[in-house]
Structure 1
Amino acid sequence: MKDQHTKNTESSINIEKVKQDLEPIIINVTERKLPQRAYQILRLAIRNLKLLPGKTILEREIAEVLGMSRTPVREALIRLQTEGVVKLIPRKGFEIEPIEAKDLREIYEVVEMLEGLAAKLSTTTIQQEQLSELETLIEQQEQAINEENLAEWARLDNLFHFKIIGYAENKRLLNVIDVHADLLYRARLITVKKRPLPFQSIIEHRAIVACMRAQDGEAAQASMQSHRKRARNEILKAL
Structure 2
Amino acid sequence: MSKPFIADGISQEFDQISVSKSIQTFLSSLDQKGEFRLPQRAYLATRYAIRNLQLPPGQTVLEREMAEMLGMSRTPVREALVRLEMEGWVRLIPRRGFIVAPIAADDLRQIYEVVEALDGIAGNLATERATPEELDQLEHLIEEQEKVLKLGDLMTWTDLDEQFHQKIIDLAQNSRLRGIMDSQSDQIYRARLYTIKFRPKPIRSIMDHKAIVAAMRAGESEAVRMLLQSHRHRSRHEILEVIQSMS
TM-score (ref. length: structure 1):
0.89
Deviation at 1:88, TM superposition (A): 1.2
1:67 partner letter: G
The aligned residue for residue 55 of structure 1 is 59
Determine whether 1:138 maps to 2:142: yes
The aligned residue for residue 29 of structure 2 is 28
- More deviation in 211-220 or 90-99? 90-99
Determine whether 1:233 maps to 2:246: no
Relative contact order, higher structure (CA 8 A, sep 6+): 2
The aligned residue for residue 169 of structure 2 is 165
Deviation at 1:15, TM superposition (A): 3.3
After superposition, the C-alpha distances for 1:90-126 in whole angstroms (9 at most, x for unaligned) are 3542111111101111111111111012111211111
> Which is greater in Rg?
1
Q: How many residues align?
A: 228
For the residues of structure 1 that align with 2:37 and 2:229, how far apart are their CA atoms? 39
Percent of aligned positions with the same letter in both sequences? 52
- More deviation in 13-22 or 26-35? 13-22
Residues 13, 57 of structure 1: 8 Å contact kept:
no
Residues 87, 97 of structure 1: 8 Å contact kept:
yes
The aligned residue for residue 74 of structure 1 is 78
| CA distance 1:75–1:49, shift in 2 (3 Å) | same
Paired residue for 1:203, among 207, 212, 216?
Answer: 207
Point out 4+ residue stretches in structure 1 off by more than 4 angstroms.
none
Determine whether 1:125 maps to 2:126: no
What's the secondary structure of 2:81's corresponding residue? helix
Residues 188, 235 of structure 1: 8 Å contact kept:
yes
1:68 partner letter: M
Deviation at 1:186, TM superposition (A): 0.0
The aligned residue for residue 19 of structure 2 is 18
Residues 191, 238 of structure 1: 8 Å contact kept:
yes
2:52 partner letter: N
Paired residue for 2:153, among 142, 149, 153?
Answer: 149
Deviation at 1:32, TM superposition (A): 2.8
After superposition, the C-alpha distances for 1:53-108 in whole angstroms (9 at most, x for unaligned) are 11111111111222211111111111211222112123542111111101111111
| CA distance 1:18–1:134, shift in 2 (3 Å) | closer
- More deviation in 186-195 or 173-182? 173-182
What's the secondary structure of 1:196's corresponding residue? coil
For the residues of structure 2 that align with 1:197 and 1:128, how far apart are their CA atoms? 30
| CA distance 1:16–1:126, shift in 2 (3 Å) | closer
| CA distance 1:224–1:58, shift in 2 (3 Å) | same
Paired residue for 1:180, among 175, 181, 184?
Answer: 184
TM-score (ref. length: structure 2):
0.86
What's the secondary structure of 1:197's corresponding residue? coil
1:28 partner letter: S
Residues 144, 152 of structure 1: 8 Å contact kept:
yes
